[in-house]
Structure formats: structure tokens, C-alpha cells
Amino acid sequence: MQDSNPLVQRVAQEIAQSANNSPTGAGPTDTGSKHPPNDSQIDTINQVFELFRINYHNQYYSAFSDVETLNHAKRLWLETLSRFDTGVILAGAKRAIEGCEYLPTLHKMIRCCEGEPGAHGLPEARSAYVEACRAPSPKAGYRWSHPAVYYAGRESDWFFLANNAEKQAFPVFERHYRHFCERVIGGEQLAPPAVQALPPQVETPLSKEENRQRLQAMRESLDL
């Protein structure tokens, strides 16, 4: 494999100048899809395959020996990777090139897009789940290991987490947590939870009559 870093940067710049560098478009997925791909996602998959074509030339043409095979592969990758932001996909492709001697599989590409959560200060999913379940109220005031844990707990619903067994609650939490992890890995800075300030306590002085009644009640309670 060629020295990847300068090549990746050069190719990425070249591709960015033209959305149609790849001769074969990724094309739409099944028209029955709930979330049809947008132009940005299609262009991103084309960029990924162009990066792979230049870096894994012989392997690339061996794997995608004809246009039909290439189109099928692009559609599969587009459908599978659509849950990631486009920036995350491109970063994952560059990470794959830097770490893989051979043409990456789709499974390897998914792992590269997910990245290493620990490198971004993100705890492992189950540790995050335990933290979310054990955090005291008010939740926003708790000192979270990472804001993503708080937001995943909030989206999962605190009441749901507290009143359901782990086998029901953890998959729900994990789905939300991975979503926020992807955003963080993609470069987004999640804001810390907003702590609502308590309203100032306004004390109204008691009137003379109210003071007399309170004093009388105290005397009666003490049999004075």
C-alpha cells in the first residue's frame, strides 16, 4: 500500500473539487426506504470509493470488476452507512486507509466510522448505561463523565430506565448513546446539560393578625 497520509489528503482535495469524479454513481436505495439517501450521502459514498480506488488500485478492480458489481456495492454501503454523518464516513474511510493494508470490508468500514469512543472521552456503552441509571436527581446537575451519557439517558426517558430491567432498557439506551457518540466522533461538541436555576424564594412578612394566630396555635399545641 502506498504512503497513505499525503495521498489521502491530495485525493480528498481533488474529489472535493468535483462531486462527479467517480464514473459510477451510488444511486438510490430501495424506493420503499423510510429515509431515502440525499445527494450529500450519495456523493460521500462516491468519494469513499474513489479514495479506495486510488489507494487499493489492483484490489479495487479485482473486487469490483464490472459496473454492475460496483453499483451493488455502493448501494449496500450507502444503505448501511447512512446512519453516520457524511463527515464521519469520510473520516472513517481515511482511518481505514491508514490502518488497512488490504481493501476494507464493509464491516471494517463500520468499525472505522464508529472510531474509538475512549479517544473522545466517551465511556463504553454499558458503563454509560450504569452511570445513567445510578445518577441522582436532578439529572442535569449531576457531574457526568460525558454529556453524551446524559443526553442518551434523557432521550431514553429517565422513568423508563429506572423502572425496566436491563434487558429491556439497555438496548434502548445503547441506541441513543451510539447516536450521540457518532455525533461526538464526527466533531460535534455537545453542550453540558443546562441546569435550571431555582426561582428566588420571596418571603412575605406575616401581618399582625397572622402572627397572633400562629402564636396562639403554638400555645395551644404546647398546652400553655
Q: What is the tens place of the pLDDT at every residue in 138-181?
A: 999 999 999 999 999 999 999 999 999 999 999 999 999 989 99
- Within this chain, do residues 34 and 101 fall inside the same structural domain, yes or no? yes
d(CA 169, CA 164): 6
Angle at 146 between CA 178 and CA 142, to 5 degrees: 125
- Cα distance between the two ends of the chain: 96
Work out the pLDDT band at 85, boundaries 50, 70, 90.
confident
Do residues 160 and 81 both lie within one domain? Answer: no
Query: 98 with 26, same domain?
Result: yes
Domains: count for the chain: 2
Residues 105 and 167 in one domain: no
Question: Which residue type occupies 26?
Answer: A
- For residue 24, what are the domain limits? 4-115
167 burial (CB, 10 Å; 0-12 / 13-18 / 19+) is exposed
Assess whether 57 and 111 both reside in one domain. yes
Give me the pLDDT at residue 24, please.
42
Which residues lie closer than 8 Å to 52 by C-beta, 6 or more apart? Answer: 60, 93, 97, 103, 104
What is the value of pTM for the model shown?
Answer: 0.51
Residue 198 CA from chain centroid, whole number: 31
The predicted model gives 69-73 an average pLDDT of: 96
Is 28 or 158 the better-scoring residue by pLDDT?
158
Last residue within a domain, chosen from 83, 115, 147: 115
- pLDDT at residue 30, rounded to an integer: 42
**Do 19 and 110 sit in the same domain of this protein?**
yes
Structural domain contains residue 220 = no
For 208, the 3-state DSSP assignment is helix
Cβ 77 vs Cβ 45: under 8 Å: yes
Q: How far apart are CA 68 and CA 124, in angstroms?
A: 40
Instruction: Confirm whether 143 is domain-assigned.
Output: yes
Place of cell 455502493: 74
Do 62 and 146 have their domain in common? no
Q: Does some domain include residue 202?
A: no
